[in-house]
Amino acid sequence: MLKQSIGIGMLFIAGHAYSSNIIVTTTSDTKADDQQCSLREAIEYINLGMPEEGYLGCGGKNASSVILLEKKAVYQIDTQIKITENLEIKTTYDSSLNDKTAPGLNNATIQMRGNERIFHIEDSKDRFLKVSLKELTLQGCGEERCRQQQGGLIYNNEHLILDYVKLSKGLANQGGAIYNPAQVTGEKIPAGFIEIKNSLLEANQAQEGGVIYTQFPRFVITTSVFKGNKTTSTTSANLYSATSLAEEEIKAFPSMGNMIVSSTFTANEGYVMNVLDDIGVNNISLIGNSRGVYLNAPLGKAYIANSVILGNPHPVSVSTAANCVQAGSDATRLQNNLVGAGCGAGDSNYPNTVWTANSVLAGNLLEGACQTLSQDKTALFCPYQVPENSFLGFMRPRVLLSYTA
């Protein structure tokens, strides 16, 4: 059992396979010269430039900027930790053992015990950092006392990469999980960028940007799930870009600088996302949210393609459908989608299929086991369900005996 110091198995793995990486040896949020290496001390060691003599029990000669945490351990922190250097934090475990080793199932958890966000990622120097979090869970306190003005879990103005990460219980006025100011800090230095893949963003909340608030579109999101998040402002969205890029910064259609691909959005309150110029959306399932997408791309350099936008709000009501809402000047291209009321016919060359029936989810459930065809003959999709030994779930299409829109 790991409470204060690292488990024997972790030391074995680290000693044999990761000798140059920084091993966090305590779950406590300590800062003392006690030969134990806490997460805070490990990050501060890297921020200091990784001196050869080490720092408060962390690192030493030939150390790398990779920090290792033990699988399923909980690291509680009392105040935010600043990151000002390139680094990677990840969970490590022996995949040769017979444990469940699918990525995401063994995540170490970094949990806020105090009243602040977890990470502030920003460097004042004229350079662009890369900060990678892999197979981790970041968990806010989930209480009003932890509400931040910006970024409930992470404030990021660098290149942030999340892979098999769960972000949950973040609370803020802007950016329940992540706030990205997208400010250029020096000549030819890019603005903050968010790259999310294979990740779960759940139970985060904000007035604006229930999950992510970015000042300008600066993200790529692939194979991820946004579930059970909440945005309270009716003019914002859970994945929210506050301002359009300048026209000269927007790529020529169909090239896109910002993408949302192969991801699922369900059980979220408020608009799921706003789509501005230079945002491309492909192969997503957006089902069972209180509102769908807000389209505001007047230059026509944005698209949604090969996607499902249905059942928003849930339960389905054609009279109150909010699948797609367009700004007056919007020219977003909708191509080859399965959509509910409000999204329109789409591109004449690659038209949408418009589903006008109320039966979308089997059993009218957002999550759980899927009913058989004898129990529900008309619903198009199964509720959200996570398969055994998997980190992420999905909403499986059902093969019906007949289809009536």
Measured in degrees and rounded to the nearest 5, phi and psi for residue 74 equal -115, 120
- Average pLDDT score over the chain: 92
Amino acid identity at 78: D
Nearest Cα to Cα of residue 241 among 204, 266, 275: 275
Per-residue confidence band for 15, with pLDDT thresholds at 50, 70 and 90: very low
The answer to whether residue 171 scores a pLDDT higher than 60 is yes
pLDDT tens digits for range 42-85? 999 999 999 999 999 999 999 999 999 999 999 999 999 999 99
Domain ranges of the chain: 8-274, 275-405
The average pLDDT across 297-313 equals: 97
Per-residue confidence band for 185, with pLDDT thresholds at 50, 70 and 90: low
The average pLDDT across 348-360 equals: 92
Per-residue confidence band for 17, with pLDDT thresholds at 50, 70 and 90: very low
| Nearest-angstrom CA–CA distance, 261 and 263 | 6
pLDDT tens digits for range 360-374? 999 999 999 999 999
Per-residue confidence band for 110, with pLDDT thresholds at 50, 70 and 90: very high
In this prediction, residue 19 carries a pLDDT of: 53
The answer to whether residue 18 scores a pLDDT higher than 80 is no
| Residue 245 DSSP label | P
In this prediction, residue 319 carries a pLDDT of: 67
Please report where in the chains the tokens 């408060």 appear, as a residue: 56
In this prediction, residue 315 carries a pLDDT of: 83
The average pLDDT across 382-394 equals: 97
Identify which has the larger pLDDT, 397 or 253: 397
In this prediction, residue 94 carries a pLDDT of: 77
Alpha helices (H) along 256-346? none
Is the torsion defined by CA of 12, 16, 18, 21 positive or negative?
positive
Per-residue confidence band for 16, with pLDDT thresholds at 50, 70 and 90: very low
Nearest Cα to Cα of residue 170 among 133, 142, 136: 142
Query: What pTM did the predictor assign?
Result: 0.93
